[in-house]
Every structure is written in structure tokens, then in C-alpha cells.
Amino acid sequence: MNIQTIDISTISSEKTLRQDYDYHKYQTKLNGLIYSFSELFEIVPKSKIALSQLNQQFRYCEISDVDKNGDVFPQILNFEERNLLQENYYKKIEKGDIISVQEDDILISKIRPNLKKYVRITKENEDIYFTSAFIHLRAKMMPEILYYCFRSSFYDSLIAISRQGKGYPTLNENDLKLLKFDKIMIDLLFKNQKLIKSKIDSIEERVRELKKQLLNESIIIDNVFSQRFVFDYTKFSKLKKIKQFDCKQSDFSNNPDLRFSAKFHRNAGAFVMEQLNAITDKKIKHFISEPITLGASISPRDFDENGNAYYISMATIKTLEIELDDSQLISESYYKDNINKSVKPGDIIIARSGVAIGKTAFVKDDFDGIFADFTMRVRIDKNKCNPEFAYYYFRSSYFQYLIEIYKKGLQNQNIFPIVIQEFPMIDIPIEEQQCIVNEIKLQIKKQDKIKSEISELRAKIDEIIEETIIRGE
């Protein structure tokens, strides 16, 4: 156990009365020659970006679009071509959650800074817009080297001043201003910056070559399905751009809900149905082992940090995988009371409401969990269909587009099991399904190998900086 004695006056001198151990330990750590935060950095104030500036295709990046290496995988957006999978991005931008950047800027994530989702702005990404959930910094010297210091030498200090949020650390601009930097170390880096930068540039050149080979998983999935079933994604893309079209009265009366929206009657939606119905006459309901089920609601008192089971919310599946953390732990009594809403390996969880609608995650591991009321559980009959094949099919552009045109609601849009179960389901032998799954996994594995090599190269940059500091030359 670590014990630190501090005066009440020390606690009261910080306006939010912070009492966390790491913060106060950090305050006494550097009392010698230091650089203050304002001597090395400035925080760039947020400026309003008019939606009229975004009247064509543009790139936008959330924290979730940044990996642990600081590489960005931006969304390609166009307000004239809004789609379901990216709807949450458009809504955030409309609410003002957007900033512009310039070369050599540094972005630090306000949420979970321990994940090292820090971005260095270069010529390659300075045209990207970012979420304002990043703290926007501008270095006053050595921007590239100081960026990598955040990932290495400054990291422990950054975490020390972070605050503990709902189960994870958070960071705000005022706390960031409390950072102090060892003057001897900074001067040493400044003295050797040309040599350091030449080594970094050599590594970054290799990283750039590797990044050209990276593909989004959704592209991999679509490519495999397109090759196997000859899906015409080129025509599909063209049809999605058509904003004006004619409908007959019978088109409105031939659906049970008398749907009148232009979105529901889009030519692209009819084309997707035409392509799928050409290869199958089966529906999802023919391949499930039990009815598609909505999840359980929860109240704050049902969470228990000492629990052993998890609550699987829309936030849990936002990365298209099940991401568990201690903030989602629930009480044993809540778990037992809702055991019929539990999950097991092979289940597929689909968000059915809100901006995350349509996002899909596969339960790979065996754990105790209850899925949320804004999600639904699809339990595939393994004798009829490979659950992983169904999972990848649900993530395909065709399936996701069906969700987009069939969802209902003005403010809070929803889609329900009774609709999902009627969607077409590809019916091929399980052996062929496994071949498709294997091909997708193989392509993803290749991408993971590239990402691993990039991580190793970036680790070498951290070593270069650390070695310079240790040598002290």
C-alpha cells in the first residue's frame, strides 16, 4: 500500500479538491528545473465549422477511428449520401462536434488517455476533421519529437494528472496545463533533434508504405461476398446517389405498414432485395434456433463493481466486437433475474435503436452477461448455419442497407426482431459458409500482421527517444 501525507491546504488549493494519490504524488515529483506546459504547448481554441463548408465529400475521425499507434482510419462522409452505418457521425457533426487541424498539431484523447490514442497531424492527414473529444495542442518547438514523448517519456505524467471517470481515466484541458517537464531532458532532446528526427523520418517512411496496404474490415467482408455471390456493388453505389424517383400507388399499398418514406422506396433498396432474392428464397427466421429477442432494461442500482457478470450495452459493441470493462459489471441478483437475456458463444448482438442502430457484434468468449434493451440477440441454429457466417453477412453493406431503409422513427429510430427475421438469408451448404468465413479471417489476419509490424516500428521510435535521454549526450 502506498501512503502519502499531504496538508488539507494542499488539497484545498486545487479548485476541484482532488484527492487521488497519483495526482498529488506527481505534484511533488518535479521541483527542480522545469518547463511549464505553456512554455512548450498551447491549447488551440475550438472554432465553429459551418456545415456549408462540408457540402462535398470529406473525412472525419472519432476517437474510435484511431488505433493505439496513433494511426487514423477516418470515415468518408458526404451529407448528400448519408447512410445508416455512419449516421452517428453526421449527427455529432450537426451538433458541432468537429474541429479542423493543421500540420504538426497534436491531438490527445480526453477519454481513456491510457490507450494512447494520440494523433500527430501530418501533411497526409491535415485535411481530416476530428471530433472535439480530442484536446487540440500546438507545440512551440520540436512538434514531432514532443508528440512521441507523449507516447513514452510524458506518458506516466499524463496518466497521473488524469481523473478516474466511470471505470476509466479522463483528461481535461485544465488538468493538462498542470503538466511539468524536466528541463534537462527537454534541452537534451532539443540539442539532438536533428539526429532524432532523421531516425524517426526513416521509420515513418516504412510505416507509410505499410499503411497503404491496410483495408477496413467492412471492405474485406464486402469483397469476399461480392466475389462469391457476384454482388454488383458498383451499381448499388450509383443507385444510392439517386435522390429523385417515381413510385406507383401500389408500391405504397404492397407493404404491411403502408410505408410512404422516400428512404423505404429507394431504388437501391429494391436492388439489394433483387440481388439477394436471386440467390436465396430463405429468410433469417428459417435459420434461428429461437425467436430473436430484445434485451433487458437496467437501473443504476443494478450495477455492482464487485459483480462477476456484464451488461452488454450499445457502447459495448460500438467497435463491432464485445468490449468489456469493469464499468459494466452488474449484481448477481440482476443477472439471475434476467438469465433469459444472457449470452453464450455464437450469439450475435445487434443494436436496434439510436445512432448505433445496425452495429453488430459476435460473442466469441464464454462469459456471464446480459444484453441491453436497445439491442437484440440472434441465436443461430448451428445445424443450419455457421453463426460466424451469419455475423459477417449481417455486417455486409447489403444487409446494413436493409436495416437503413426498414428502420422507423423520426427522432429515435428503431428496428425490431419481427422485421429483421424477414430479411433474406443466404442459403448455402455449411461447408461453403466455412470457406467464406475462413477467407474473411485470412484477410483480416493479414491486416493484423501489418498492424503488428507498424506497432513494432513505432516502438522503435520510443526507444530512440529513451536512449537519447539515458545517454545524456
455 compared with 267, residue with greater pLDDT: 455
Q: Among 343, 335, 352, which Cα is nearest to 380's?
A: 343
Residue 58 has pLDDT above 60, yes or no: yes
Assigned superfamily of 218-432: DNA methylase specificity domains (3.90.220.20)
240 compared with 207, residue with greater pLDDT: 207
Range of lowest pLDDT (72-86, 214-228, 259-273): 259-273
% of the chain residues with pLDDT over 70:
87
Question: How does residue 43 score in pLDDT terms, banded at 50, 70 and 90?
Answer: very high
Three state DSSP letters for the chain: CCCCCCCHHHHHCCCCCCCCHHHHHHHCCCCCCEEEHHHHEEECCCCCCCHHHHCCCEEEECHHHECCCCCECCEEECHHHCCHHHHHHHHHHHCCCCECCCCCEEEEECECHHHCCCEECCCCCCCCEECCCEEEEEECCCHHHHHHHHCCCCHHHHHHHCEECCCCEECCHHHHCCCEEEHHHHHHHHHCHHHHHHHHHHHHHHHHHHHCCCCCHHHHHHHHHHHHHCCCHHHHHHHHCCCCCCCCHHHHHCCCCCCCCCCCCCHHHHHHHHHHHCCCCCEHHHCECCCCEECECCCHHHECCCCCEEEECCHHHCCCCCCCCHHHEECHHHHHHCHHHECCCCCEEEECEHHHCCCEEECCCCCCEEEECCEEEECECCCCCCHHHHHHHHHCHHHHHHHHHHCECCCCCECCHHHHCCCECCCCCHHHHHHHHHHHHHHHHHHHHHHHHHHHHHHHHHHHHHHHHHHCC
Mean pLDDT value of segment 340-364: 91
Residue 177 has pLDDT above 60, yes or no: yes
Specify whether the CB–CB gap between 101 and 107 falls below 8 A: yes
Query: What pLDDT score was predicted for residue 11?
Result: 56
Question: How does residue 283 score in pLDDT terms, banded at 50, 70 and 90?
Answer: very high
Q: Where are the domains of the chain?
A: 8-191, 218-432
Mean pLDDT value of segment 196-220: 92
Spatial separation of the C-alpha atoms in residues 261 and 252, rounded to whole Å: 9
Tell me the residue type at 410: L
Range of lowest pLDDT (6-15, 169-178, 199-208, 444-453): 6-15
Backbone angles phi, psi at 430, to 5 degrees: -60, -30
Range of lowest pLDDT (39-43, 200-204, 464-468): 464-468
Query: What pLDDT score was predicted for residue 251?
Result: 63
Please, what is the average pLDDT of the chain?
A: 87
Q: Do domains 8-191 and 218-432 have the same CATH topology?
A: yes
Pick the CATH number of 8-191 from 3.40.50.10490, 1.10.357.10, 3.40.50.1100, 3.90.220.20: 3.90.220.20
Q: Structure pTM?
A: 0.79
Distances (CA, A) of 317 to 322, 342, 408, 438, 456: 5, 15, 21, 23, 28
Residue found by looking up cell 464464454 in the block: 366
User: Residue 370 forms beta bridges with which residues?
Assistant: 311, 342
Query: What pLDDT score was predicted for residue 119?
Result: 96
Spatial separation of the C-alpha atoms in residues 32 and 372, rounded to whole Å: 52
Specify whether the CB–CB gap between 51 and 82 falls below 8 A: no
How many Cα atoms are found within 13 Å in the side-chain-facing hemisphere of 177?
A: 8
Residue 101 has pLDDT above 80, yes or no: yes
Residue 7 has pLDDT above 70, yes or no: no
Query: What pLDDT score was predicted for residue 1?
Result: 54
Express each pLDDT in 377-430 by its tens digit. Answer: 999 999 999 999 999 999 999 999 999 888 887 667 889 999 999 999 999 999
**Helix 233-240 vs helix 267-277: crossing angle, to nearest 10:** 160
Q: Of 268-272, 303-307, 342-346, which one has max mean pLDDT?
A: 342-346
What value, to the nearest 5°, has the Cα angle with vertex 410 and ends 406 and 411?
A: 120
Mean pLDDT value of segment 346-362: 89
Mean pLDDT value of segment 185-192: 93
Residue found by looking up cell 527517444 in the block: 465
Mean pLDDT value of segment 275-297: 96
Express each pLDDT in 83-93 by its tens digit. Answer: 766 778 898 99
Query: What pLDDT score was predicted for residue 16?
Result: 59
Return the number of other C-beta atoms located less than 10 Å from residue 436's C-beta. 22
Residue 140 has pLDDT above 60, yes or no: yes
Tell me the residue type at 392: Y
Residue 10 has pLDDT above 60, yes or no: no
Range of lowest pLDDT (93-102, 251-260, 329-338, 386-395): 251-260
Residue 373 has pLDDT above 70, yes or no: yes
Residue found by looking up cell 436471386 in the block: 278
% of the chain residues with pLDDT over 90:
58
